Structure 1
């Protein structure tokens, strides 16, 4: 079994902290329920963060749908600051008390992902960035993570189901597995070119078997104008000065007339690394 909540359980308020259920029991038994206005805001943001991006609103509205409450909320993707209200709920407390736990969870995680994506996009100085992080998250929440990343500023996502829900085309390159199975970088890329539909851009992975510079030139000479970009996913143990490696590959490609071939960088990227590598 997968250790993930069923959507019906979340909607029915079963995924909540027990003290909310106990509070509602007390209020009803003692006839103490009141009409209230609940305000949601972030008391503080992570160190160095002056703003954040709101996400998870779509799920919040679905969570509260059908309840006898009034909801006011900032639009999805809005920039907000600490202590700034992002959501108000007005109604009898017992009507929505059990939803505080899932409501805050939905907002906090999605907004955290969207904010980090926005900071990475800002660091890229306008260059496209894509979310390839599904393998670091529980697959049950992959569409949510991808959606929040997209709202925050990522230009695409790799998981097909997530892209479908976003009404976008999934983006991706060639995995190391294909290169290892074929046994040669050029042959693997050539097979990709022969089998995969033309609308998918040809981005060759060049760090699996040989020196990045020489592999990049081999691929460029073989695919010519069909090659859109080369991808460097070089592991940290072999990177050394990664920026210098990128400059060297770029220089070699330009020298031989492959100026249109772009460099696609992946592997442990964060906003600091993006800022360094995408001046």
Structure 2
């Protein structure tokens, strides 16, 4: 607690924690610091315990690599866990930590937060990927979260959720790929005409860069798509529909008409990408209508939570638990030693 009292922060900064602040435990809850001091005063900080982590909803497990990075220098502890990307059931044990409580107890807030966020992102991404049935899903969620966590979110969506690409530069690089994306409506508005911007894009980008153009800025989406396809003369890879809700959004009827008109005009190779409020339910409907790939933002970045709970289940080899929980270790043969 004396260390906490001495800690000072400069408010002239970005308010997310630095890596050093996270590793130093400065983002943990204060009650774990108090717990450390109280147990130390009673010579109990080195008590040997086994703790288990679970969540009440099923999902896709992720966040373990960051947790292990946090714990790798925390002394003589043993960690068993599922593999990242594994699907799990409600209340299944995801992680088991064994060792002196003082070695890992104070950081509980930190690693549970890592697991909770990453698992929720991975689960939401996997739901979209499953709904798409093999069609590409791209993660466009960086703008919906704090930039400090955007790379972590998009990395997880690709690595463990199954998305084929990410737009956040750092997130894509952490996932081992190059970032994907075209240009926003802002570029088209500044150019004053979608076709003008499409030609500038075609001239400025490298030959291997796919020519994908937004077609809902100024004119009817089908009209705009046809004039761009004709002008780029075989170089147009795809058109992106991001029609706002004020105009009805991206509907199955719009997709069917666009696909029909492109095909009739001889542009069967031009793909249709849909973005804007995409969910697994909308993916299924739009896929049937003819959408070839999906850009998903807020459904992945702001998912249904997967709150993580850690319970001490053994103390000095004796089964124990708080009321409402079963004492002793819960069997899970899928757990593997990871630290």
TM-score, normalization by structure 1: 0.95
Residue of structure 2 aligned with 1:83, choices 91, 100, 109: 91
CA contact (8 A) 2:121 2:156 kept: yes
Size of the aligned set, in residue pairs, is: 273
Structure 2 CA distance for aligned equivalents of residues 183 and 66 of structure 1: 56
2:71 pairs with 1:64: yes
Structure 2 counterparts to residues 253-268 of structure 1, below 5 A:
253-268=262-277
CA contact (8 A) 1:239 1:245 kept: no
2:86 pairs with 1:73: no
- Displacement after TM superposition at 1:261 (Å): 0.7
Structure 1 CA distance for aligned equivalents of residues 95 and 207 of structure 2: 45
CA contact (8 A) 1:217 1:253 kept: yes
The ranges of structure 1 where at least 4 consecutive aligned residues each deviate by more than 4 angstroms after the TM superposition are none
Structure 2 CA distance for aligned equivalents of residues 14 and 95 of structure 1: 16
Residue of structure 1 aligned with 2:122, choices 114, 117, 123: 114
Give 2:51's aligned residue. 38
CA contact (8 A) 2:244 2:250 kept: no
Q: Deviations over 1:102-151 (max 9, x none)?
A: 01000000100000000011111111010111111101111101111112
Structure 2 CA distance for aligned equivalents of residues 166 and 241 of structure 1: 29
Give 2:221's aligned residue. 212
Structure 1 CA distance for aligned equivalents of residues 223 and 48 of structure 2: 70
- Displacement after TM superposition at 1:240 (Å): 6.0
User: In structure 1, the residue corresponding to 2:79 is in which secondary structure?
Assistant: strand
- Displacement after TM superposition at 1:177 (Å): 1.0
User: In structure 2, the residue corresponding to 1:140 is in which secondary structure?
Assistant: coil
TM-score, normalization by structure 2: 0.78
Q: Which 5+ residue runs of structure 1 have no aligned equivalent?
A: 46-50
Residue of structure 1 aligned with 2:235, choices 194, 215, 226: 226
Residue of structure 2 aligned with 1:53, choices 60, 70, 73: 60
Structure 2 counterparts to residues 1-279 of structure 1, below 5 A:
1-33=13-45, 34-42=47-55, 44-45=56-57, 51-68=58-75, 69-150=77-158, 151-239=160-248, 242-279=251-288
Structure 1 residues 171 and 29 mapped into 2: Cα distance closer, same or farther (>3 Å)?
same
Structure 2 CA distance for aligned equivalents of residues 180 and 187 of structure 1: 10
Structure 2 CA distance for aligned equivalents of residues 113 and 159 of structure 1: 15
- Displacement after TM superposition at 1:32 (Å): 2.5
- Displacement after TM superposition at 1:224 (Å): 2.4
Q: Which 5+ residue runs of structure 2 have no aligned equivalent?
A: 1-12, 289-339
User: In structure 2, the residue corresponding to 1:71 is in which secondary structure?
Assistant: strand
Q: Which has the higher contact order (CA 8 A, sep 6+)?
A: 2
- Displacement after TM superposition at 1:165 (Å): 2.0
User: In structure 2, the residue corresponding to 1:40 is in which secondary structure?
Assistant: strand
